Amino acid sequence: MSSHFDSTVLERELSETLSEKRYQHSVAVGETCVRLQHRYLETFDERELYHCGLMHDIARDWKAAALTHFAEEHHLNLENEERDFAVLLHAPVGAALLKERGFSNPLCVAVRYHTIGSIHMGRMGLLLYIADYIEPNRMHLDDDERASLLLEPTLEALCLRILEAERAHLHSKGKVVTHSGMELRQFLQEGGRL
């Protein structure tokens, strides 16, 4: 299904509501989703895929109290970690906002799981999860690391590399991966395909 939203209108909205940095990130994630689709021969409508990346952090600048309030009001289904770390709520809240505005189900599901990763996130979710991690403004990767990730033969293998890196990073800070992320990692290790 093709997206009926106008990219220019969405970009203008975000440029007026997000910080400059977040806006640049959002555009870059949208563009990276499309680039990944070309690299890995996926077949999503290109405009819809771009909108998925563009809109994924729509609720990222909300205050914790506002996110919590929205999640309660809308009876959102949450993972335990999302109750404990309110910033993670920008994913389910963003997905609910986009759903209300008529964005497609695959797009909303992708946004819903973009922070924690999930076996339920779908292939659009897989593209978004990866793009959010590797987009060129991200300073935690250098060009060599980015290029090496893109040598992975499949999106699943690439996602697994990212999950491993995230796990090592969290571990070094004394934190653990979410249940949903761990389940995804195991699923991909066993050869699962999204």
User: Could you tell me what percentage of the chain is helix, strand and coil, using 3-state DSSP and rounding each to the nearest 5?
Assistant: 65, 0, 35
CB of 105 closer than 8 Å to CB of 115: no
Please report whether residue 57 would count as binding Fe ion according to CB under 5 A: yes
The pair of three-digit structure tokens given for residue 56, joined into one six-digit string:
């994924």
Task: Supply φ then ψ for residue 113, to 5 degrees.
Answer: -110, 15
The contact mask relative to Fe ion for 3-42 (x = CB under 5 A, - = no) is: ----------------------------------------
In the complex, the smallest distance separating the C-beta of residue 25 from Fe ion, rounded to whole angstroms, is 6
Whole-number Å distance between alpha carbons of 6 and 8? 6
Region 127-166 residues binding Fe ion, contact defined as CB under 5 A: 132
- Residue among 125, 123, 109, 140 nearest 25 (CA): 140
Give the range of 14-22, 124-132, 144-152, 163-171 binding Fe ion by CB under 5 A: 124-132
Residue 4 or 120 with smaller CB distance to Fe ion: 120
The one segment of 31-39, 49-57, 96-104, 139-147 that binds Fe ion by CB under 5 A: 49-57
Q: How far is the CB of 90 from Fe ion (least distance, A)?
A: 6
Please state the closest distance from residue 190 (CB atom) to Fe ion, in A.
Answer: 27
Distance from first CA to last CA of the chain, Å, rounded? 19
Residues engaged in binding Fe ion (CB under 5 A): 57, 132
